[in-house]
Amino acid sequence: MNTTIPAEEQIIEQKPIFKVTQFQMNKAAKKKSVWKGLKQIISSEKSLPWPAEAVLYSSINAPPSFKPPEKFSDLSGLPAPYTDPQTRLRYANKEEYATIIDLPMDITAGYLALRGATSIVG
């Protein structure tokens, strides 16, 4: 009698590793990863000795963009193709322009200060 199992049946009997019920992950893989913020990464980089040619988060500089910055409305935050020449507030449509015309000067100066523009004098 031939008691050897053919090669085809041996391949079928082997289960892939993800189907084996006795398979257990190591304890390091079960540990939940801790996320660090950018400030934590930079401070930990500064505390370690690094070679002079190492590239770190704090040493990465982005070149200036050639694309002009987008302009948004000071009232609604929508993309603003228009600017009021008198108050220098940006607006997106004619309803916002009607609102800008009726605003007092102190509110207008407040909107410009929020945007970081200089105050409107003269």
pLDDT digits (tens, 9 = 90+) for 56-113: 777 777 778 899 989 999 999 999 999 999 999 999 999 999 999 999 999 999 999 9
Q: Is residue 108 part of a domain?
A: yes
CB 46 within 8 A of CB 58: yes
Tens-place pLDDT, residues 35-56:
888 888 888 888 888 888 887 7
Q: Is residue 97 part of a domain?
A: yes
For the cut 60, the answer to whether the pLDDT of residue 1 exceeds it is no
| Pairing between β-strand 90-91 and β-strand 82-83 as defined by DSSP bridges | antiparallel
Q: Is residue 88 part of a domain?
A: yes
pTM, two decimals, is: 0.47
Q: Is residue 39 part of a domain?
A: no
| Interacting residues of 96 by C-beta distance below 8 A, sequence separation 6+ | 73, 75, 76
Tokens of 121: 């004098």
Q: Residue 86's domain spans which residues?
A: 82-115
Distance between CA atoms of 54 and 118, rounded to whole angstroms? 41
Number of structural domains (the chain) is 1
